[in-house]
Amino acid sequence: MKIFIDTANIDMIKEVNSWGILDGVTTNPSLIAKEKTDLRTCVKKISEIVDGPISAEAISMDAEAMVKEGRSLSKIHPNINVKLPMCIEAMKATNVLASEGIAVNMTLIFSPQQALLAAKAGARYVSPFVGRLDDIGQVGSEMLAQIVAVFRNYDFDTEIIAASIRHPVHAFEAAALGCDIATIPYDVLKKMVAHPKTDEGIKLFLADHEKSKK
């Protein structure tokens, strides 16, 4: 499974990139606002750090404007893909952008039906939001499993990005189900590295090493 980081924070991106595990980056308007930056400056900076797909979300709400915004965002760097929120206008825009070779990441996906239509419209990626479904008492990982099953049936080229990952179990579920990508926040990535028995083991080995010197 490819691992993307879900942030617009440049220091976090640099840090995780240095771990040798980073395949791409996703941003959204809320993450951009949190960093008090603007989308174009931010994704340009990211493209200088990470050699992989970078999602930049359009804020237009009609197809014509989405296409215009998407074309402009895609010119920032060849690795930029255009994030569009799932709706009919976004499907129309995806149809046009895909025909021009511009990759679309259809975001805010909450059902296998939405994912199926996004893929058929030509989306390069679909982003099902696992955590936000859990938030309303539904099981996000079940939706992921349904999307994986549908895409396998028809051998779509569209890649599934498990999004809205809130904890390491979500990341594990995405990998176990065979999602192509998980986009994961920095704090969750750090939690995935850690294990109390690893920390305990390191402490013990270092203590024994000290003892053996005496």
Which residues form the interface with ligand E4P (CB under 6 A)? 6, 26, 28, 107, 127, 129, 131-132, 163-164, 183
Cα 52 to Cα 20: distance, rounded to the nearest angstrom: 12
Q: How far is the CB of 19 from ligand E4P (least distance, A)?
A: 20
Q: Which two tokens stand for residue 23?
A: 């395949």
CB of 28 to ligand E4P, least distance (A): 4
Query: Closer CB to ligand E4P, residue 29 or residue 201?
Result: 29
User: Measuring CA to CA, how many Å separate 65 from each of 43, 58, 184, 195?
Assistant: 20, 9, 29, 47
| Catalytic status, residue 83 | yes
Shortest distance, position 130 Cβ to ligand E4P, whole Å: 8
Point out the catalytic residue in the list 68, 83, 92, 203.
83
Other beta carbons less than 10 A from residue 59's beta carbon: 12
Non-local (6+) Cβ contacts of 127 within 8 A are 26, 83, 105, 106, 107, 108, 109, 161, 163, 183
User: Which letter does DSSP use for residue 4 in this model?
Assistant: E
Least distance in Å: CB of 72 to ligand E4P? 20
**Type of residue at 131:** G
In the bound state with ligand E4P, the residue whose beta carbon lies nearer, of 34 and 203, is 34
**CB nearer ligand E4P, residue 15 or residue 134:** 134
Q: Cβ closer to ligand E4P: 33 or 206?
A: 33
C-alpha distance from residue 4 to each of 54, 72, 83 (Å): 9, 23, 14
Q: Give catalytic residue positions.
A: 83
